[in-house]
Structure 1
Amino acid sequence: MNQPILRMALGALACLLLCTAAMAASPAATDEPEVPAAGTVRFADGRRNSGWLDFEFFREQRIFLPARVNGRDTMLLLDSGAEMSVLDSAFAESLGLARTRNVTAKGTGGTQDASFLPALNVEIGNLRLDGVAAAAVDLSGVSAMVGHALPVVLGNEVFAQATIEIDFAQRRIRFHDPASFRPPAGFRSLAATHGPEGIRRIPATLEGEGPLSFDFDLGNGSPVLVSAGHWRREGWLVGRRTAGAFGGGIGGMQEQRVTRVKSLELAGFRLRDLPATLLPAEVSNPGTSPAAGNLGLPVFRRFHLVVDYPRDRLLLRPAEDAARPFMHDRSGLYVLREDGALKVAYVVPESAAAQAGWQAGDLIETVNGTPVRALADPGAWRLGQAGTTVRLGMRDGSTRALVLADYL
């Protein structure tokens, strides 16, 4: 008998691409639809929300929260694009969790072995989630690409049961009981409809075309992923520059292409000049209508955001620094953390690194004189300003000077 396929938008965890954009819109008040009879969240001490909780905003691309899983302190990634929660296989084993059924996980990188786990108990501050469905997957490859430990990914269970308010400017988050939540003034509402595997889809206009349907994915560190069915249409790439990239997630990493899109508009707010990853193949279920793409956290980081799945909506209000330039890779090197070093996994052909002779497999042991082992984020230098010289100490004892530069 064939194993069932567990499709996971965690596969959208991809290359580190950010953008510079401008926004213009005036906020408007929203109506209050009724909350449907749905699952409820549980807060300690009879409270109706968690209060503000600080989070780690890793590279301004992903949200990591301190939590307890089955009584064990850990950090978890908050991911609206994960069909269900995921534990790294090694972390699941450390908790003594027996795997109950083998499945196949499918992401943008391909397929990978996985197993269902017994239901979990998750605590975030005074928020309690009992009976969380989860799977065990080897996340070591994704962790190496992201550049951060990845023991737990918390998926749709918390989004389905709580209204989640995220203040990116202050690096804080608040979980609300949906029945008692009332948004402050000045937010615009955006419909969040049901898509395949419980992933929500939102309408947006891409370069004046639309509205188109996009997956809403806070686990994706890229602004825009454009589906193969969209960018492969006749004429879409005409006049666009593209460059090589390397990304993926569940199922592995692969070579990709990136470009830039002129504009993206959602809820009446317009963003301009966004880097976009061109997905090499469709990853949606057969028989379902594919989305035009996937919108990641760098887009929503520009707002004070409320994720209100119980009312089938997002609420958006521009942050004060909404037009601030976003960082993006200027090194031309995609690196994986490996045995106390950074291993070059891919060299962008169009980059200065390629012209300087860098090759996949090169091993970096120091960055500007500091050992990779001692760096909390050993890949952050890739996102520096153009013209910055980075001195990289190699395993063979040599030192190479790499000048960061735009290549797209």
Structure 2
Amino acid sequence: MSAPRLFAMLVSGRTRPLWTCFGLLILLLCMPFVPLSAQDSGAPFTIVNQKKQAVRIPFELQRNLIVVSAKLNGKGPYNFLLDTGVGISLITDPSLRQTLNLPIGNRFQVAGAGEENAIQAFQSDGVRVELPGVVAPALSFLVLSEDVLNLSGYVGVPIHGILGYDIFRSFVVEVRPVELVLRFHDPYMFRQPQGRSWTTIPLQLQGNKAYITTEVVVNDQLALPLKLVLDTGAGHALSLEVGSDPRLQLPPIRLRSQLGRGLSGYINGFLGRVTALQIGKYRLKSLLTSFPDADNVQQRVDIPRNGNVGFELLKRFNMIIDYPHAQLMLRPNGLYRDPFEHDMSGFDLMATGPDLRRYIIMKVQPDSPASAANLHPNDEIVSINLQPASSMSLTQISRLLHSADGRLLLLIVRRSDGHMYTTALQLKRQI
């Protein structure tokens, strides 16, 4: 085992290994875990009204991520990402430790992808979690001591943690991305929908994560069956790990990029495209794909796989994620024919301020439209096309920066020294 990927629990001189792979596009949180308590013997969440076969829960779609509201120990609501790539529920906002008076259990040194030092985390058991119509009377969380992922700044709304395997093993989860609605079905009462537009893909459940095997046409001559993590907590469409199969190679046309932030630093790699991906009976073409550097991923994978499929792809379908019956059902929705586009500006934004409506440039790619517009790290975007940036969500700004090759945006920018200036940013498709 490699130390940078190890959770070490110091109890009576012993260590208990857990593996983490926090990563791509900040949210590839795919952490299988050794069960932390006896709760693992049964589903932790149940429907409150036992006469109901399902409950309907609204969600927000922010930067290709599912955000749900939950109460913890009767307080809140707090915002959580709903993520099939997470093996244990996480509290990423350390301020909740005191707010909720959380009990401190086993302590861990936590490290993940990246080159920075490990951080401390601790286990907190017996937390009551309530979502509309469902409850977990006593859930175990892993609580980070530092908000190193800064999910709130990345997503643009307050994010306090992540719910994953605990939800998906409790229910058959139906996701409707266009309507922004979830339905949690009692797995014993669930009946499969009928209709020729549905396609069913078997799920392999290993290490508290779900995998699908699907064909990826890497180029016009090579089609490979690949094992991919089903990852609703990854904002990208597809990520492939070239070190997982000697036949997987970087595409000839590619863009060097910082793909995201892990627990222990930034994840670097390339962006490119694959010819197509076949998922069930549906074929999606010209997928924008992340190719993380091999040393960012190869040591943190405990179950062999070739990459993961994220919500930029999955949101194009109404989904039924059915862990209890080991299947994934998909039906195209109104987003199905949307093109797969990368950011066309060349800069990374982070939301800051008490209401997360101040937008600071974190990084500018060399030889990009942002560089040509004389934008610098730590610049604040004050206005876009004469509209105050504070009146827009980070998701709205992100969609604008992905919108159209050649589109011209007029920006008012505040330098870190307070100086204001105006510049024109012309979007350019770079990959």
TM-score when scaled to structure 2? 0.80
Whether the 8 Å CA contact 2:44–2:137 is kept in 1: the answer is no
In terms of mean alpha carbon deviation, does 204-213 or 338-347 score higher? 338-347
2:36 is matched with which residue? none
Aligned pairs for 1:37-116 (under 5 A) are 39=43, 41-59=45-63, 61-72=64-75, 73-87=77-91, 88-109=93-114, 111-116=118-123
Question: Deviation of residue 296 (structure 1)?
Answer: 0.5
Find the aligned partners of 1:158 and 1:214 in 2 and give their Cα distance. Answer: 20
Question: Deviation of residue 12 (structure 1)?
Answer: 3.8
2:271 aligned to which of 258, 264, 269:
258
In terms of mean alpha carbon deviation, does 170-179 or 381-390 score higher? 381-390
- Which amino acid counterpart does residue 62 of structure 1 have in structure 2? L
Q: Residues 156 and 65 of structure 1: is their aligned pair in 2 closer, same or farther, counting only changes over 3 Å? A: same
Question: Deviation of residue 373 (structure 1)?
Answer: 4.2
Whether the 8 Å CA contact 1:247–1:256 is kept in 2: the answer is no
2:409 is matched with which residue? 390
The Cα offsets for residues 93-121 of structure 1, whole Å up to 9 and x where unpaired, read as 32221332321334444654322122322
Q: Residues 194 and 234 of structure 1: is their aligned pair in 2 closer, same or farther, counting only changes over 3 Å? A: closer
1:365 is matched with which residue? 382
Q: Which runs of 5+ in 2 are unaligned?
A: 1-6, 10-15, 29-40
Whether the 8 Å CA contact 1:190–1:313 is kept in 2: the answer is yes
Find the aligned partners of 1:356 and 1:392 in 2 and give their Cα distance. Answer: 9
2:130 is matched with which residue? 123
Sequence identity (%): 24
Q: SS at 1:345's partner residue?
A: strand
Whether the 8 Å CA contact 1:48–1:180 is kept in 2: the answer is no
Q: SS at 1:353's partner residue?
A: helix
1:164 is matched with which residue? 173
- Which amino acid counterpart does residue 181 of structure 1 have in structure 2? F
Question: Deviation of residue 44 (structure 1)?
Answer: 1.9
In terms of mean alpha carbon deviation, does 280-289 or 339-348 score higher? 280-289
Aligned pairs for 1:191-270 (under 5 A) are 191-196=202-207, 198-207=208-217, 209-230=223-244, 233=246, 236-237=249-250, 239-270=252-283
1:14 is matched with which residue? 26
In terms of mean alpha carbon deviation, does 361-370 or 115-124 score higher? 361-370
1:26 is matched with which residue? none
TM-score when scaled to structure 1? 0.84
2:159 is matched with which residue? 150
Whether the 8 Å CA contact 1:328–1:383 is kept in 2: the answer is yes
Whether the 8 Å CA contact 1:243–1:349 is kept in 2: the answer is no
The Cα offsets for residues 344-396 of structure 1, whole Å up to 9 and x where unpaired, read as 22222342222334333333333344554443327433233223322332222
Aligned pairs for 1:342-361 (under 5 A) are 342-361=359-378
1:182 is matched with which residue? 191
Number of corresponding residues: 385
- Which amino acid counterpart does residue 163 of structure 1 have in structure 2? V
Q: SS at 2:312's partner residue?
A: helix
1:403 is matched with which residue? 426
Q: SS at 2:230's partner residue?
A: strand
Q: Residues 43 and 274 of structure 1: is their aligned pair in 2 closer, same or farther, counting only changes over 3 Å? A: same
Q: SS at 1:74's partner residue?
A: strand
Find the aligned partners of 2:53 and 2:242 in 1 and give their Cα distance. Answer: 41
Whether the 8 Å CA contact 2:238–2:288 is kept in 1: the answer is yes
Question: Deviation of residue 273 (structure 1)?
Answer: 0.6
The Cα offsets for residues 259-303 of structure 1, whole Å up to 9 and x where unpaired, read as 111111122321111111111235366784431101101221121
Q: Residues 284 and 243 of structure 1: is their aligned pair in 2 closer, same or farther, counting only changes over 3 Å? A: closer
Q: Residues 152 and 192 of structure 1: is their aligned pair in 2 closer, same or farther, counting only changes over 3 Å? A: same
Whether the 8 Å CA contact 2:255–2:430 is kept in 1: the answer is no
Find the aligned partners of 1:341 and 1:42 in 2 and give their Cα distance. Answer: 39
Whether the 8 Å CA contact 2:21–2:300 is kept in 1: the answer is no
Q: Residues 49 and 248 of structure 1: is their aligned pair in 2 closer, same or farther, counting only changes over 3 Å? A: farther
2:34 is matched with which residue? none
CA RMSD of aligned residues (A): 2.8
In terms of mean alpha carbon deviation, does 207-216 or 2-11 score higher? 2-11
Question: Deviation of residue 165 (structure 1)?
Answer: 0.7
The Cα offsets for residues 40-73 of structure 1, whole Å up to 9 and x where unpaired, read as 74212223334322211124x1111122222121
In terms of mean alpha carbon deviation, does 151-160 or 336-345 score higher? 336-345
Q: SS at 2:420's partner residue?
A: coil
2:37 is matched with which residue? none
The Cα offsets for residues 112-141 of structure 1, whole Å up to 9 and x where unpaired, read as 432212232222211112222211123352
Find the aligned partners of 2:264 and 2:140 in 1 and give their Cα distance. Answer: 21
Whether the 8 Å CA contact 1:13–1:142 is kept in 2: the answer is no
- Which amino acid counterpart does residue 68 of structure 1 have in structure 2? K
Q: Residues 106 and 162 of structure 1: is their aligned pair in 2 closer, same or farther, counting only changes over 3 Å? A: farther
Whether the 8 Å CA contact 1:243–1:350 is kept in 2: the answer is no
1:29 is matched with which residue? none
Question: Deviation of residue 14 (structure 1)?
Answer: 3.3
Find the aligned partners of 2:301 and 2:385 in 1 and give their Cα distance. Answer: 51
